[in-house]
Amino acid sequence: MNNDNNEIIDLINKKNEIINLVKKYCTENLKVFEGENKEWIVIEFYNNYNKKFTIDIANEITIFFMGWHAHYQNNLKNYEMFIEDINYILNNQRFIVNTSYQGKPTVAYMSETNVINIDEIRDEVGDNKEINCCFWDSQKNQIFQPLTN
């Protein structure tokens, strides 16, 4: 048995597995688009506040949510990281930090926790940015205004 986490996998063949995972969290507004030759797949779904989450599958997986995105290569290790990240986000165990300066997007990243520590975030991104902390459950979202210009 090959336990090599860098083993290349066919991500297109993971389509049903990924859709079933998403359906645990979202059964309405789930859309799946496929390339004519099934060389790519896009899965879109929305939370209860109409915020879109997109999974783009081809030679790699890219996920998009609230101005943030991440890439996962087509190997077992990255696929497992993708599954973990999806579960973290959709279970509200992680949130997206999305910042802007004078209305223009600057930084977006996924938190390492579900606890918003605004002082820690400001240490990372600066005092002069609007900071949006975006959860899958939008009721938990918080917006912090800049402290300086």
Neighbour-count burial for 100-113, b at 16+ CB within 10 Å, e otherwise: beeeeebbbebbee
19 and 78 inside one domain: yes
Domain that holds residue 113: 96-144
- Contact (Cβ atoms closer than 8 angstroms) between residue 118 and residue 137: no
Q: Which of 72, 67, 84, 30 is nearest to 141 (CA)?
A: 67
Q: What is the mean pLDDT of the chain?
A: 94
- Within a domain: 117: yes
31 and 68 inside one domain: yes
Q: How many independent structural domains does the chain possess?
A: 2
The parts of the chain modelled with pLDDT lower than 70 are: 1-4
The per-residue pLDDT for 1 is: 40
Q: What is the pLDDT of residues 91-101, one digit of tens each?
A: 999 999 999 99
Identify the DSSP state of 66: T
